[in-house]
Amino acid sequence: MRLQDLPDALFEHILSFLPRGVTAYAACAVDCRWARTCDDALRLLCEKHAWKQPRSRRLAAASATGGGDALRWRALYVSRACPACLDAPGDFAARRSKHEAPLYLLCGACCRRESVIDKMRAAGATLDVTGVSGKPLYTQRGDRFVSEVAAAARRAGLG
C-alpha cells in the first residue's frame, strides 16, 4: 500500500505523532496532502493559544508566504511560535538594534538556552528582557543572571 492510498483518518493519526517543528516546516514541504493535513493540526494549536487570522485581506495574503490561503494556519503558527522550539508562544523579541522591528519572538525557556544565546550573539541580535505580554524575563529575586549583570556593571563603573 502506498502512502497516498491511506485513508484520511489514518493519515491524520500518523501525522499527529510528528513533533510540531516537523509539522510546521518539513511535513508541509513533502506533499500537498501532508501540507493540508498539517495545516488542520496547526489550526487547532493556534486556536488553543487564541491566535486569530488577520482581518485584513492584505495582511492575510502577506502572512501566508508561498502557500496562499491553503496554508494560512501554518503561516500564523510559524509567525507566532518560538522559532527555537516551535512549542510555546514567542514572547521576548530578538532585534538587531533596539530601534528595529523584531526578527523573531522567543519563549522564556529558549531565551535561557545556551545554544540559542550563542546563535543570537553570532547574529549580533539583542533580546528584549520585557516580553510582549509585559512579563519580565528575569526577576531580581535570586536570579543568577541579574546578579551577574549587576556585578559586571559595577566593575565597569556603570552602576
DSSP 54-76: -SSHHHHHHHSTTTGGGGHHHHH
> Between these two residues, 25 and 112, which has the higher pLDDT value?
112
Please state the domain extents for the chain.
Answer: 1-81, 82-159
Asked whether the beta carbons of 83 and 120 are under 8 A apart, the reply is no
Give the Cα separation of 159 and 145 in Å (integer): 16
Name 94's bridge partners.
104, 127
Q: What is the per-residue pLDDT for 106?
A: 92
Give the Cα separation of 16 and 133 in Å (integer): 30
Q: What are the tens digits of pLDDT across the range 27-53?
A: 666 777 777 777 877 888 888 888 888
- In this prediction the pTM is 0.64
